[in-house]
Every structure is written in C-alpha cells, then in structure tokens.
Amino acid sequence: MRQAEVTNERVTVRPASSDDVPLILAFIRELAEYERLAHTVDTTEACLQRTLFGQRPEAEVLIGEVDGEAVGLALFFANYSTFKGRSGIYLEDLFVRPHARGVGVGKALLREVARIAAARGCVRLEWSVLDWNTPAIEFYRSLGAQPLDDWTVYRLTSEGIARLAGA
C-alpha cells in the first residue's frame, strides 16, 4: 500500500479485494450518475465478483481512502500496442466522491496506476474523458496528459457486436 500526505489528511491507495465489490458497484453507480449515464448501468455484484476477482480477472481496481474512508476508485486493464509490441494500461474509470475532491485522491490513484504501468514496462497509459467534463480535462492536463485530437473513439454495443458477428 502506498501512502502520501496531502493537506494534513492521510490519503492511501490500496488494491481492491473481493470484499470491496459492493463498494465498487456503488462507485460505478455514482460515476454513472455524474456522467449522466446512470440509465446504462446494468452490472451486478455477482458480475463484478466474477469479472474482477474470478478465475480470470478482466480488470484491476484500486481504492483511494482519506483517513480510512473509501472515497474513490481507479479501474484499469491491459491493452496492447502493435506498433511498440508491448502492453499498456487503459484506465476505464477514475472516480472520487465529490466531498473528497481536491485533496489529492485522484492524483494518488492515477499515480499508483502509473507506478504499476512503469513496473510492468508499459509503453502507454490511456483513458477517455467526456468532452463536457472540464474539471477532469483540467486535472489531466495539470498532470501532463495530452488529448489525442487525431483519434475518434468508435464503439459497438452488445447489439452491434451480435449483428456484426452474424448472430
């Protein structure tokens, strides 16, 4: 566990455990509400238990705490650069509860993901941010992150995947 002193409060970051599944789901729902996407959340504790802590985990989660109170999470997974021939990390979600923003939890979580990426020899750390989310954009820029203006994200949802697969 890594610890950092931030404005007289103790901020800690720890790996999530299977006992954290209800908390992780609560964070996901709060993030979806913030992003105006609550209507799209249909995961369950059982699904998260299986996909995050089952036989073949599909992603990893870090929990950020202030004075022992869980207030944020970072959820990430490996991606791969064919041009570099090496792995990277994709940060799917970074969320800090509103009352704990501004004390360094987000930075501590992102710093820990960066440490993990560095330790694994990753060539990149990437994420997406909604265009309207100015506070997040400013936060990421303050850390030195740059937008990839030449790229557009495309997505197929379950229905589109099934249709393309010929199901």
Q: What does the pLDDT look like over 1-37, one tens digit per residue?
A: 444 444 446 899 999 999 999 999 999 999 999 999 9
What are the sequence ranges of the domains in the chain? Answer: 2-165
The C-alpha atoms of residue 148 and residue 131 are separated, in whole angstroms, by 12
Q: 94 has which bridge partners?
A: 74
pTM of the predicted model as reported, rounded to 2 decimal places: 0.90
Active site residue 34: no
CB within 8 A of 164, min separation 6: which ones?
156
Residue in the block written with tokens 């944020």: 72
Q: Could you give the C-alpha distances from 138 to 21, 102, 141, in angstroms and in order?
A: 30, 12, 5
CATH 3.40.630.30 fits 2-165, yes or no: yes
The C-alpha atoms of residue 57 and residue 65 are separated, in whole angstroms, by 23
Q: Annotated catalytic residue: which of 80, 90, 140, 154?
A: 140
* Burial track 76-94 (b if 16+ CB lie within 10 A, e otherwise): beeeeeeeeeeebbbbebb
pLDDT tens-digit series, residues 146-158 = 999 999 889 898 8
